[in-house]
Amino acid sequence: MAQPYVMTGLTAATMDQDSGYGLVPDAAIVVAGERIDWVGPASDLPSNYAGFDRQSHDGRLVTPALIDCHTHIVHGGNRAREFEMRLNGASYEEVARAGGGIVSTVAATRSATQDDLLASALPRVDALIAQGVSVVEVKSGYGLDRETELKMLRVARILGQQRPIRVVTSFLGAHAAPSGTNPDTYIDSVCLPTLEAAHAEGLVDAVDGFCEGIAFDTAQIARVFDKARALGLPVKLHAEQLSHIGGTALAAEYGALSADHVEYASAADAAALAAAGTVAVLLPGAFYSIHETQAPPVQAFRDHGVAMAVGTDWNPGSSPLGSILLAMNMACTLFRMTPAEALAGTTRNGALALGLGDCGVIAPGMRADLAIWNVSDPAELSYGIGINPLHQRIFGGAQ
Ligand SMILES: O=C(O)CC[C@@H]1NC(=O)NC1=O
Ligand SMILES: [Fe+3]
């Protein structure tokens, strides 16, 4: 085990409160192995740490390392041409119904080899690591057949083996029905058997779905969630992104880890999420890219005490957003989250959205996943537009 050490000369945003930053000015943090052993004012540092190696960080800000709780970074091809179509007025739904959208990425992903998918995903993971990310959620959902869904999830697992980052996978076989197929038949004959196979191979940490008019209805998603429940897997859901068809309420009913997008969620949905302890994951990149005008009900989430997370939704179509810091800026500017809420959304609440209890907060016993920033005010992390002030990332105590 690496020698324990004491970090000093820091302002610590511990994120260990239900609101605000949990700021500790002139803080000390003791790292022992992969865990945090102590955090608090340097003046209170217990004497038993006196002999530990000390490292001063010249007054910089330290936060928990960031968590991107919603990505589709394993995929083939790109959708730049659709970008032009949408700039010419085609709606996201019109593009999807014209055979563009998710199904066009499916063709590119099916034809890509596992090595191709890995080679194109590694730079995306590297970009997130360079922004101080220590946990990234990676979904399947561009295969929509057994072979390719498994291929995507295997690549996701390899990303976590080849890079110093934790990868949490979500099976998203219920992302869309392949062109020309009946959604119900697809769910029963492809999606559910593939979920079983992926689970048997240890490839699935959670099960996701796309509940939307252009994808699956609540009854179809419920069949996927019932299978997840039978396999002992937690669930999450892309819900109320483009309309209100009941996805958020369904997610709450199943005790989902999170309901994601939720632009069209209602106050009643917010109450249901709060009662279920389900996290609302806000994805401003998709809202921005598809020119959505309905912002998520952030004030209703606040009023009901719904934890809010923020993710990039990095995908080739609705959100080719490669910056978790820009996602935080967008969450503030477009959704009127506060900078403290945005940082909670990519630390403490990002961990909650993934069902992780050992990260996202600077506290004794938590993983020593830390980000040290060349800023003095935590609000600067959301304030900058396309600015990356990361000085150093510590992953599992290793510098
Ligand atoms: O456009 C894509 O490729 C993915 C879109 C993405 N998936 C989903 O369920 N909602 C989204 O915004
Ligand atoms: Fe998504």
Q: What is the pLDDT of residues 166-195, one digit of tens each?
A: 999 999 999 999 988 999 999 999 999 999
Q: Which amino acid is at 220?
A: Q
DSSP bridge partners of 279: 258
Domain of 18, CATH number, reads 2.30.40.10
Q: Is the residue at 399 inside a domain?
A: no
- Please check if 317 is assigned to a binding site: yes
Q: Is the residue at 127 inside a domain?
A: yes
160 lies in the same domain as 239? yes
Q: Is the residue at 289 inside a domain?
A: yes
Domain assignment of residue 46, given as a range: 5-65+360-394
334 lies in the same domain as 371? no
Nearest ligand to the C-alpha atom of residue 281: 2
DSSP state of 360: S
With a Cβ cut-off of 6 Å, ligand 1 is lined by 101-102, 105, 175, 210, 238, 241, 286, 313, 315-319
Q: What is the pLDDT of residues 78-116, one digit of tens each?
A: 998 888 888 898 887 888 777 788 888 999 999 999 999
114 lies in the same domain as 244? yes
Q: Is the residue at 157 inside a domain?
A: yes
The rounded Å distance from CA 317 to ligand 1 centre is 6
Provide the number of structural domains found in the chain. Answer: 2
Indicate the pTM of the whole model. Answer: 0.97
169 lies in the same domain as 157? yes
297 lies in the same domain as 377? no
235 lies in the same domain as 95? yes
Query: For residue 306, is it left (φ>0), alpha (ψ between -120 and 50) or beta?
Result: beta
Q: Which residue has the tokens 């080719």?
A: 320
Q: Which amino acid is at 168?
A: V
Q: What is the pLDDT of residues 230-264, one digit of tens each?
A: 999 999 999 999 999 999 999 999 999 999 999 99
In angstroms, rounded to a whole number, what is the distance separating the alpha carbons of residues 57 and 46? Answer: 19
132 lies in the same domain as 40? no
144 lies in the same domain as 186? yes
327 lies in the same domain as 388? no
- Per-residue exposure over 262-298, b if at least 16 CB sit within 10 Å of its own CB, e if not: bbbbeeebbbbbbebebbbbbbbbbbbbbebeeebbb
56 lies in the same domain as 72? no
CA count, 13 A, side-chain hemisphere, 256 = 32
- Please check if 388 is assigned to a binding site: no
Domain of 258, CATH number, reads 3.20.20.140
Q: What is the ipTM of this complex?
A: 0.96
Nearest ligand to the C-alpha atom of residue 71: 2
In angstroms, rounded to a whole number, what is the distance separating the alpha carbons of residues 53 and 277? Answer: 41
Listed residues 320, 337, 353: the one ending a domain: 353
237 lies in the same domain as 380? no
Region 8-25 average pLDDT: 95
The rounded Å distance from CA 315 to ligand 1 centre is 7
Q: Is the residue at 167 inside a domain?
A: yes
Q: Is the residue at 126 inside a domain?
A: yes
311 lies in the same domain as 179? yes
